[in-house]
C-alpha cells in the first residue's frame, strides 16, 4: 500500500511550534532540529510520521519513530524496539519513505510492504 500527503511548510511549522518538537520527534531528530536542519526537511519527516500513525493507529507516539538519512541521503525509518515488533506483528515487512520539499511545500510518500 502506498500513501502520500502534501502540506505547506508554514502549516507544519506552526504545528511543530504548537506541539513542541520534543513531542513530535525522537531525541536524535530533536537534536538535529536545533542544529540547523531546515524546516522543510523536518516538515517532510512529520508528514511521513502522520501517514504511519493514520495507517497504524497504535503507532501514535512519534518520538518512537526516528527518520534518519542513509549514506546517499535516502530517508530511513528506525522504530524503537516496541514499535518494531508492532509493525512486524501487523504483517508489514518493510516501510519505505520518500520525502521531498520545496520552499513552500513538503511531501511524504510512504510505501508499506506487506509479507
- SS3 state at 8: strand
Identify which of 43, 45, 54 has the alpha carbon closest to the alpha carbon of residue 12. 43
What is the DSSP secondary-structure string of 29-48?
HHHHHTTT--HHHHHHHHHH
pLDDT by residue for the chain (115 residues), tens only, comes to 999 999 998 898 898 889 888 888 888 887 776 665 667 778 888 889 999 989 989 988 998 999 888 899 889 999 999 999 999 999 999 999 999 888 889 999 999 999 8
What is the bridge-based pairing of β-strands 105-114 and 92-101? antiparallel
CATH architecture for segment(s) 2-114: Alpha-Beta Complex (3.90)
pLDDT score, position 82: 93
pLDDT score, position 19: 87
Residue boundaries of the structural domains of the chain: 2-114
pLDDT score, position 33: 67
Backbone torsions φ then ψ of 52, nearest 5 degrees: -60, -45
pLDDT score, position 37: 60
Amino acid at each position: 500500500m502506498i500513501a502520500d500527503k502534501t502540506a505547506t511548510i508554514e502549516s507544519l511549522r506552526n504545528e511543530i511550534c504548537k506541539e513542541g518538537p520534543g513531542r513530535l520527534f525522537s531525541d536524535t531528530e530533536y537534536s538535529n532540529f536545533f542544529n540547523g536542519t531546515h524546516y522543510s526537511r523536518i516538515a517532510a519527516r512529520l508528514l511521513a510520521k502522520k501517514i504511519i500513525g493514520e495507517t497504524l493507529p497504535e503507532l501514535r507516539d512519534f518520538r518512537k519513530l526516528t527518520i534518519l538519512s542513509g549514506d546517499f541521503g535516502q530517508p530511513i525509518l528506525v522504530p524503537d524496539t516496541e514499535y518494531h515488533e508492532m509493525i512486524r506483528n501487523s504483517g508489514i515487512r518493510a516501510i519505505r519513505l520518500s520525502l521531498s520539499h520545496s520552499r513552500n511545500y513538503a511531501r511524504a510518500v510512504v510505501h508499506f510492504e506487506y509479507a
